[in-house]
A and B are shown apart, each in its own frame.
Chain A
Amino acid sequence: MYGSTLNGIIMKNKVKSWVFILLMTTAVVVGAISCKPKVSDADLKAKIETVTADHPNVVVSVKDGAVTLSGTVASEEDRSRLAEVAKNADPNNVKSVANELTVEAAPIITNTDDADLTAKVADATKDYPSVKAEVSSGIITVTGSIEQTRVQPLKMALDALNPKKVDMSGLTVK
């Protein structure tokens, strides 16, 4: 009788400790799961890459939810916009965005085909009989004379042909 009571106490303690171990294990497992990001770095990287796809020179890397953008873009606007876009690709899982993008503008194309440019210059200057224009290596050199009010229309017409340079220093303005 005495012994059975003692057994009962030991039994109770055993159950208690099992419950305790079970609770602790659950807590550790739950804790571990909740610490893990909901989306893996690889998934996050793939997600951001779909929104930066228009910019082939941009490299996306992700570590523990921290995003780094590197590589080159064509303008300052693209640079700041892409950081914004990367953040918004998954605002809950992107912890931070390090913007290491550099701006490398594509060169502006000029027309260096002298034959093509010469033909276009002839069209553009047709209505300016007192003006002479010559093309060499993409540079239009204008000489002769012109009325003050027509200087700007002439320059606008010549600039519209995308030459390398329009030299009007030899043009007399009346």
Chain B
Amino acid sequence: MGLLDKYKTLLDTAKASGIPDLQYAEQEGVLQIRGTAPNADTKNKLWDVYNQIDPNFLSGDVVMNIDVSSAVEGSQVRVATQESNLNIRKGPGTDQPIVGKAAKGEVIILISRANDQWWLVRTKDGEEGYCYAQYLEPVE
């Protein structure tokens, strides 16, 4: 069974999710999926579907990188860590000194997206610095 068949439900869900720049292709035995979802819910739904087809992602035959378009500069984002506080760092990188912390569930302001991994943020207390983007979820 080809990857396009194996992940048909995932691709169909993505196509029906209002992802204007959806791109997917099988490259070197891996189904690469890219696109920008309108909100975090849509992105999470796609990951749920993917996890159902390939529990714990053990097959390693998909790389899915879905961005969220509502995460724009000046918007609010929620800290979505597992349980701990989120480090705010002086620069984009874990080698950078920690200049502050944001609690799990705290809503902070996204100032700019330095790159795909590191976003410049400001807390309500005025602390400013870089956070790992994976732990920030746009507030709808």
Contact = CB atoms under 8 A, between A and B. Distances in A.
A17 B16 CA distance: 73
Interface of B: 23-25, 27-30, 32, 34, 47, 51, 56-61, 63-65, 82, 84, 93-94, 116-117, 132-134
Contacts of A153: 82, 134
A167 to B, nearest CB: 4
A169 interface: yes
A166 B134 contact: no
Interface of B is mostly: mixed
Contacts of B116: 160-161
A149 B80 CA distance: 13
Contacts of B28: 164-165
A94 B34 CA distance: 37
A29 interface: no
Interface of A: 105, 107-108, 110, 119-120, 122-124, 126-127, 148-153, 155-157, 159-169, 171, 173
Q: Chain B CB within 10 Å — which of A122, A148, A153 has the most? A: A153
Q: Chain A CB within 10 Å — which of B34, B56, B84 has the most? A: B56
B95 to A, nearest CB: 9
Nearest to A119: B93
A124 to B, nearest CB: 7
Contacts of B29: 165
A160 B65 contact: yes
A133 to B, nearest CB: 13
Nearest to A138: B28
A165 B63 CA distance: 6
A107 B28 CA distance: 11
A165 B51 contact: no
B137 to A, nearest CB: 11
| CB-CB nearest 5 A-B residue pairs | A108-B32, A167-B60, A157-B134, A155-B57, A123-B94
